[in-house]
């Protein structure tokens, strides 16, 4: 490698380190590491069964025993497939072959090659996904017909393949146009894409899978709107999503910004869940708005994406890595399988960090719900109802929770509510 490429590689690594440091600082400052002072007598220990009936816990553990191996298999299959395509000539040959019908131009190779790679990855894991859907049907979690399941798989694959192909096309085009500094421009673009995605996801992607209707006028709608006002996060509407077409799970969320902000309730919530429990789960979601969790998450996503692209710029100067993938440079269309592999590896490394932050943020939203409603009993009953209806293990194994747990366990959330009660009684 001559002096100029070496300097570019060092610059990419330096900028990646600086952006990574900024990411760590934001995590350290914005993550609520401590929520409550220790109540008299010490913190409430998390009960293993969260107060749920033994039959409910046994059913949740049975589902976990059936579904967790499928989750691990899906992860490993995707990783092995991506490694085979990215670290051998198989992937580069597939990219070249995909673009050949349209004259073999580099742009078509990148676009069609990326689509082909995404499709291969999805097809390899499709049997595992089908098995997981069978399990969800067996436990009454899924209500999807198989035609609807196939439609959902097709739509999500098309969106994933299309967006990925466009992003990779821009990356390769930048690498061809500015071989020494492409990673800098691409990192700015990656950060901008994260920001744009946060704004567009509620109004572009979500409607592809669910229909939304305004919650009819009534006491619940009035109470939810008043709750949002009291939280300091007024919303424009309260919508009901037709989630029951796909699941029996209970959920609600707040999406959008400013004029697009709305509370969304799963229609499954409206069947037989008491209003106080619905208000508790809505108050939790309003907590994310009150503490700007979406904005913080967007900032972290933008910093992480930019740092990842800079690190990618450094890695793609490694001649042995490029040779193994069958590519000559970052601007070679044959680099696409390697890029997808490196992105996948980066997301795997980031997963425990993301979930660590998420668990603390979700706990803060729980505390906001308790403070806003003042109803710990409804909060606790809602957590137990969620665990029973969603067939959730109240106390999953610690390694599983560390890697995959984006929320505190049911037992931990109930223990927090009991601490809140004890502190309020002082």
Instruction: Fill in the DSSP letter of residue 205.
Output: I
Beta bridge partners of 265: 240, 252
At residue 215, does pLDDT exceed 80?
Answer: yes
The answer to whether the Cα torsion of 19, 316, 190, 298 is positive or negative is negative
Centre a 10 Å sphere on the Cβ of residue 4 and count the other Cβ atoms it contains: 10
Is the confidence at residue 397, as pLDDT, over 80?
yes
**285 among known catalytic residues:** yes
Tracing tokens 């920001």 back to the chain, one arrives at 195
Query: Tens digits of per-residue pLDDT, 300-337?
Result: 999 999 999 999 999 999 999 999 999 999 999 999 99
- Tens of pLDDT, residue by residue over 144-194, are 999 999 999 999 999 999 999 999 999 999 999 999 999 999 999 999 999
SS3 322: helix
Dump pLDDT digits (tens) for 49-72. 999 999 999 999 999 999 999 999
359 within 8 A of 406, measured Cβ to Cβ: yes
pTM of the model: 0.92
- 262-308 pLDDT per residue, tens: 899 999 999 889 999 999 999 999 999 999 998 999 999 999 999 99
More confident residue, 299 or 200: 299
Q: For 77-127, write each residue's pLDDT tens digit.
A: 999 999 999 999 999 999 999 999 888 899 999 999 999 999 999 999 999
pLDDT at 6: 65
Report the SS3 class of residue 357.
helix
Contact 269, 250 (CB under 8 A): yes
For the residues of 138-199, what is the DSSP string, one character each?
Answer: HTT-B---HHHHHHHHHHHHHHHHHHHHHHHHHHHHHHHH-TTTHHHHHHHHHHHHHHHHHH
The Cα 288–Cα 265 span in angstroms is 16
* Parts of the chain belonging to CATH 3.30.2010.10: 212-288
CA 12 vs. chain centroid, Å, equals 27
* DSSP H/E element including 254: strand 252-255
CA-nearest of 150, 167, 76 to 115 is: 167
Give the pLDDT score at 209.
Answer: 87
**366 is annotated as an active-site residue:** yes
The pLDDT of residue 228: 93
Q: Is 137 annotated as a binding residue?
A: no
What are the tens digits of pLDDT across the range 4-43?
Answer: 556 678 899 999 999 999 999 999 999 999 999 988 888 9
pLDDT score, position 318? 92
H helices then E strands: how many in the chain? 15, 4
Annotated ligand binding at 288? The verdict is yes
Catalytic residue, from 277, 279, 293, 366: name it.
Answer: 366
Euclidean distance between CA atoms 407 and 361, whole angstroms: 8
* Residue 381 marked in a binding site: no
Give the separation between CA 165 and CA 118, rounded to whole angstroms: 9
Q: Tell me which of 133, 277, 279, 285 is the catalytic residue.
A: 285
Neighbouring C-beta atoms of residue 426, cutoff 10 Å? 7
Q: Do residues 167 and 193 lie in contact, with contact meaning Cβ atoms separated by under 8 Å?
A: yes
Q: Which two tokens stand for residue 262?
A: 């709305």
Query: Over 90: is that where the pLDDT of 223 sits?
Result: yes
CA end-to-end distance (rounded Å), the chain = 69
Three-state SS at 214:
strand
Dihedrals φ, ψ of 408, to 5°? -60, 155
The CATH code belonging to domain 212-288 is: 3.30.2010.10
Instruction: Identify the bridge partners of residue 263 per DSSP, sorted by sequence position.
Output: 238, 254
pLDDT above 90 for 355:
yes
pLDDT at 410 over 60: yes
Q: Distances in Å between the alpha carbon of 251 and those of 245, 379, 383?
A: 14, 14, 11
Task: Please tell me the predicted confidence (pLDDT) of residue 86.
Answer: 96
pLDDT of residue 426: 56
Give the integer Cα–Cα distance in Å for 20 and 7: 20
Q: Per-residue pLDDT for 392 more than 90?
A: yes
Is residue 147 within 8 Å of residue 303, measured between CB atoms? Answer: no
Q: Tell how strand 252-255 and strand 237-241 pair up.
A: unpaired
Binned at pLDDT 50, 70 and 90, residue 362 comes out as very high
DSSP 26: H
């Amino acid at each position: 490698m001559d002096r100029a490429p070496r300097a570019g590689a060092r610059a990419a690594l330096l900028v990646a380190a600086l952006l990574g440091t900024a990411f760590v600082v934001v995590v350290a400052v914005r993550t609520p590491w401590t929520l409550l002072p220790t109540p008299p007598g010490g913190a409430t220990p998390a009960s293993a069964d969260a107060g749920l009936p033994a039959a409910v816990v046994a059913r949740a553990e049975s589902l976990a025993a059936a579904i967790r191996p499928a989750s691990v298999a899906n992860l490993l299959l995707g990783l092995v497939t991506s490694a085979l395509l990215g670290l051998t000539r198989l992937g580069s040959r597939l990219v070249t072959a995909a673009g050949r019908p349209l004259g073999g131009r580099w742009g078509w190779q990148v676009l069609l090659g990326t689509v082909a790679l995404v499709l291969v990855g999805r097809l390899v894991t499709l049997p595992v996904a089908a098995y997981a859907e069978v399990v969800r049907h067996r436990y009454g979690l899924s209500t999807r017909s198989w035609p609807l399941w196939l439609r959902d798989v097709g739509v999500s694959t098309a969106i994933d393949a299309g967006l990925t192909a466009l992003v990779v096309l821009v990356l390769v085009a930048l690498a061809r146009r500015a071989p020494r500094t492409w990673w800098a421009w691409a990192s700015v673009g990656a950060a901008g894409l994260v920001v744009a995605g946060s704004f567009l996801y509620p109004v572009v992607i979500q409607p592809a899978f669910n229909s939304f209707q305004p919650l009819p006028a009534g006491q619940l709608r009035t109470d939810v709107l008043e709750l949002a006002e009291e939280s300091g996060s007024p919303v424009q509407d309260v919508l009901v999503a037709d989630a029951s077409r796909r699941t029996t799970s209970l959920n609600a969320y707040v999406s959008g910004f400013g004029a697009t902000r709305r509370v969304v309730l799963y229609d499954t919530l409206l069947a037989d869940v008491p209003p106080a429990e619905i208000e508790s789960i809505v108050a939790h979601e309003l907590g994310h708005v009150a503490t700007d969790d979406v904005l913080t998450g967007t900032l972290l996503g933008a910093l992480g994406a930019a740092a990842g692209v800079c690190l990618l710029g450094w890695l793609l100067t490694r001649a042995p890595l490029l040779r193994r993938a069958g590519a000559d440079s970052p601007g070679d269309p044959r680099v696409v399988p390697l890029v997808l592999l490196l992105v996948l590896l980066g997301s795997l490394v980031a997963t425990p960090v993301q979930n660590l932050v998420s668990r603390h943020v979700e706990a803060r939203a729980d505390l906001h719900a308790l403070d806003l409603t003042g109803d710990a009993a409804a909060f606790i009953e809602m957590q137990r109802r969620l665990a029973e209806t969603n067939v959730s293990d109240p106390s999953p194994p610690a390694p599983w929770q560390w890697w995959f747990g984006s929320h505190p366990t049911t037992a931990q959330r109930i223990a927090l509510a009991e601490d809140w009660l004890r502190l309020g009684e002082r």
